[in-house]
Homo-oligomer: A and B are copies of this chain.
Amino acid sequence: MKKNTFSFVILVFFSGLFLFSCTTAEAPPNYNSNDSDKTKTEVPAPETVLRSFHDDALVGSPAYAQLRYLCKDIGARLSGSENAQKAVEYMQRVLDSMNLDSVYLQPVMVPHWERGEKEFCQIISNDKNKINQKVLDITALGGSVGTDGRIKSEIIAVNSLADLENLSKEEAKKYEGKIIFVTQPMEAKFINTGSAYGACSSVRVRGANYAAKVGAKAFLLRSLTLATDNHPHTGVMVYEEDGKKIPAAALSTISANYLEKLLVKAKKESKSVEMELQLNCETLPDVLSYNVVGEWRGREKPEEIITVGGHLDSWDLGEGAHDDGTGCLQSVEVLRLIQKLETKPKRTIRCVLFMNEENGARGAKEYARVAKEKGENHIAALESDSGGFTPRGFRVQDSTRLEIIQKWLPLFEPYNLHKIEYGYGGTDIRPLGESGTLLIGLEPDSQRYFDHHHAKTDIFEAVHEREFLLGAAAMASLTYMMAEYGIE
């Protein structure tokens, strides 16, 4: 894009000035001042407030630098780890520095799973009577047992979990003692990558149980990503209570492509392929950890609470940048932006940085349990846990109350927030939904999220400052509207 003639340049220049003057004209003259003539309940027009949030987020926000600290100075912070504790302490310091009405830690016992040092996967095949060895990119799934040293077995590919379901004993026999590799890829045709993930995440979460039932020795899947890359993507898996626990791991998509081709070729030649596999992960005793909470109490209805949050824990690969450092710092930024208003909103806004979303959601459950125990009235909860990319709108997890939020669409559209649709709120706020809390998820652009999801590339540098801050401003906008105007 370039303007190559004077007349056009002038056109653009003046239309730019016009746009800009509209922008500044929209800004309220005094929203950051302490004009004492104003009564406490004289609230500015919502258009003015939303513009102030976006202006203040895009210029001079500390949130990106805070995210940098969480990612680069602390780093990965799996539940139960030392880093998770450091993250709790850091975020408490950040909230403490903000002059909120209250800041506290909410204790919760969390699982403590560790990957261990050496993960190893090697293919041994016979090609033209020559032994062919190749190391593959692999990582254990969170919650998996280890292999107890290096195991070696034939590897067999199946297309999907359906191939392992309802087999007769005779049919199941061919998998006995083998390593099973489910080749199912994420479906590229979905426009929203979150839908593609939702359509196959059960392969990761439950696949090992299917494999164990047919007597397999271990379970592998193709990493859940749409990218062709050489770093495996981890994520939680859960064993059935009475089932056998076999090791479970993800191959990078490049390794999965290689292995799939090799197995097709071997099958044609009636040869078998062996795999050596070593995972040293283990589950240790539960550890005391915390949700980190900061509160800005409402001026008229402090007992009505709107929770806004993300999760503070992350997988041990990468730095937990998009998943979910961005959600945490965006939630803190919501408080900062709303604190800058001259008048407090009617209802209470509570920023909650949940612990242990990735492998247990213990923080989520504890927060809802305590809220219920205290008889708190949580009218709505907003979570950001889909990455810190340009916001597109909100997912509202209640088709009947969806229209309450949709009526504010004209306020959001100037900020390119066009989507207010039915959809999933978020894992951390989900337990609140059992008490009738309206659950809402921030919906950012989804195209890049699964490139980084649960992998070593989920680092600070993958987060774009403006995209991240626009997400925070979008969250502040909706949080404010609910806190000031309610959701009746």
Contacts and interface: CB of A to CB of B under 8 A. Distances in A.
Contact of A390 (B12, B23, B54, B445): B445
Interface in A188-233: 188-202, 205-206, 226
Interface of A: 1-6, 8-10, 12-13, 15-17, 19-20, 23-24, 54-55, 58-59, 187-202, 205-206, 226, 235-236, 238, 323-324, 357-361, 385-386, 390, 392, 414-416, 418-419, 424, 426-427, 430, 445, 447-449, 451, 453-454, 464, 466-467, 470
B386 A198 contact: no
A227 to B, nearest CB: 8
Contacts of A190: 19-20, 23
A418 to B, nearest CB: 4
Contacts of A361: 4-5
B58 A20 contact: no
B189 A59 contact: yes
A3 B200 contact: no
This chain's copy number in the assembly = 2
Contacts of A427: 1-4, 8
B385 A1 contact: yes
A129 B222 CA distance: 65
Please provide the 6 A-B residue pairs with the shortest distance between their CB atoms, ordered closest to farther: A16-B199, A418-B418, A16-B198, A12-B198, A13-B202, A4-B361
Contacts of A195: 16, 19-20
Contacts of A2: 201, 235-236, 357-359, 427, 454
A201 B430 contact: no
Q: Which of A15, A453, A454 has the most CB of B within 10 A?
A: A15
Contacts of A206: 6, 9
B189 A470 contact: no
A6 B13 CA distance: 57
A4 B426 CA distance: 11
